[in-house]
Amino acid sequence: MGDLSIQDLVVEYSSAGYALRPINGLNLDVAAGSLVILLGPSGCGKTTLLSCLGGILRPKSGAIKFGGVDVTALAGRELAAYRRDTVGIVFQAFNLVPSLTALENVMVPLRSAGWSRAASRRRAAALLDRVNLADRMKHRPGDLSGGQQQRVAVARAIALEPPLILADEPTAHLDFIQVEEVLRLIRSLAEGERVVVVATHDSRILPMADHVVEMAPTHASANRLPETVQLEAGEVLFEQCTMGDLIYVVSEGELDIVRELADGGEELVKVAGPGDYFGEMGVLFHMPRSATVRARTDAKAVGYTAQAFRERLGATGISGVIGRHELAGTQ
C-alpha cells in the first residue's frame, strides 16, 4: 500500500429537491508517509471526503485510488475487506464502548478480525503502551480524560496496522495540553507506507502537515478593491456548489439566478436587475453557492468583499430584495 490519488471527485446529494455538491472536482495526489490536513469550517465537505476515502460514501463521479486500488469501484466483499484491512478511523466523539475498559476497546477490531483473545490482549496492551496509557488499561472511558480517550481511539484505529488513517476533528473536545499530546501522536502515525488524513478546523496542526487542502476559501483581504465583471447574455458568473469570496451588486442588465435540481433540471429563482445584490450567504458563512447566476442580457456586476459590502450597504442602502427577502439563502 502507499500513494493516495483523488481524481476529479464529485459528491452530490439531494436536499429538498435541489442538487448540492459539497465536493466538486477535487484533485489530490499524496505520497505514502504523508500527513494530509483537510482544513475548513463545518459544512465545507471535510467529513464527506473522509467518508469517501473510507469507502462509506460513494461519490457521483471521479476516482479515489489508494495503493493502486480504485476504491470507488469496489463493492460487496471487496469493499468490506477494504474497510476492515485498509482503513482505520479516529472519530471526533471517540466512539469508545463505555462498558469496556481501554484494553477491551482496543481489542474490539482485533477480535472482529479473528484474532484469539490472548493475542488480542497482547497487541492491545502494546498499543496502549505506545500511546502512553499503560497505566490506564483497566480504566473505562468515563474514568479517562478527553485526551486519554482520544489516545485509546487512536490505538484502536491502528490495531490492525491499516495503511490509511482517517481522523475527523480529533482535537475538537480537547483542552490545549491534550491537543498537543494528540497532535504529536497523529504526526507519528504518518510513517513508512501509511497515509494519515485529518479533517479539522484547528490551525494548530498545520505546521505538522505535509499537505494542506483548504476546503473553503480564505477570508478576502479587507483592502481588496471591488471587481467589475462584464457579462454577455448567457455567460455564467458563478455556478451552484462552487465556493466564492465576493458578494455581487448588479449595475447594468439582468441576471438569472437558478437552482439546479436533483433530476438534472433547473428552477428560476429570481431575475436580478440594477441595484439588486446576491451571493452574500455563501461569503458570510463560508458555504458553497446554492444557485447558479447567469446573464439574461448583457450585464455588469460589481463584486465586493464581505467588509466592503457591509460598508457600502450601510452607506448607500442598496436594494435588499434579493439578499434579505426573496432570496435569503441564495449564496
- Residue 330 — very low, low, confident or very high, per pLDDT cuts 50/70/90? very low
Query: Is there a domain that residue 167 lies in?
Result: yes
Query: What type of residue sits at position 147?
Result: G
The whole-number average pLDDT for the span 194-208 is 85
Domain's final residue, options 214, 244, 262? 214
Q: Tens digits of per-residue pLDDT, 35-94? A: 999 987 766 788 899 999 999 999 999 999 998 889 999 999 999 999 988 999 988 788
Q: Are 149 and 242 contained in the same domain?
A: no
Binned at pLDDT 50, 70 and 90, residue 206 comes out as confident
> Are 200 and 243 in the same domain?
no
Task: Please identify which residue in the block is written with the cell numbers 471517540.
Answer: 94
What's the pLDDT band for 328 if we cut at 50, 70, 90? very low
**Span 80-117, pLDDT tens digits:** 999 988 999 988 788 899 999 999 999 999 998 899 99
Q: Is the pLDDT of residue 219 over 60?
A: no
Quote the number of domains for the chain. 2
CATH number at residue 312: 2.60.120.10
Residue 31 domain flag: yes
Mean pLDDT of 176-199: 82
Q: Residues 201, 93: one domain? A: yes
Strand-pair category, 247-252 with 299-304: antiparallel
Identify whether residues 99 and 67 lie together within a single domain.
Answer: yes
Reference 141, options 100, 93, 169; nearest CA is: 100
Q: Could you tell me if residue 221 is inside a domain?
A: no
Q: What is the mean pLDDT of the chain?
A: 84
Could you say which of 184, 214, 244 is where a domain stops?
214
The answer to whether position 196 is within a domain reads: yes
Domain endpoint, select from 164, 181, 214: 214
Residue 321: per-residue pLDDT: 36
Distance CA 94, CA 196 (A): 17
pLDDT bracket for residue 185 (50, 70, 90): confident
274 and 167 assigned to the same domain: no
Cell representation of residue 207: 505546521
Q: Could you tell me if residue 220 is inside a domain?
A: no
Say yes or no: 24 and 98 in one domain: yes
- Residue 296 and residue 150 share a domain: no
Q: Is residue 331 part of a domain?
A: no
Give me the mean pLDDT over the 149-163 stretch. Answer: 91
**From CA 49, how far away is CA 292, in angstroms rounded?**
23
Average pLDDT value for residue range 214-225? 60
Residue 162: inside a domain: yes
- The answer to whether residues 14 and 259 touch, using CB atoms and an 8 Å cutoff, is no
Do 164 and 235 lie in one domain? The reply is no
**Domain housing 301:** 227-326
Domain-located, residue 124: yes
How far apart (Å, rounded) are the C-alpha atoms in residues 246 and 289?
11
Sign of CA dihedral 40, 43, 47, 48: negative
For residues 20 and 135, membership in a common domain is answered with: yes
Judge contact between 132 and 209, C-beta under 8 A: no
Task: Return the closest-CA partner of residue 236 out of 291, 197, 195.
Answer: 291
Any idea of the CA torsion for 202, 208, 211, 212, to the nearest 10 degrees?
Answer: 20
When pLDDT is cut at 50, 70 and 90, the band that residue 294 belongs to is very high
- Cell numbers at residue 38, please? 483537510
CB-based burial of residue 182 (10 Å sphere; 0-12 exposed, 13-18 middle, 19+ buried)?
buried
Distance between CA atoms of 141 and 93, rounded to whole angstroms? 12
Same domain, 104 and 148: yes
CATH of the domain at 135: 3.40.50.300
Regarding whether 269 and 158 lie in a shared domain, the answer is: no
Residues 147 and 54 in one domain: yes
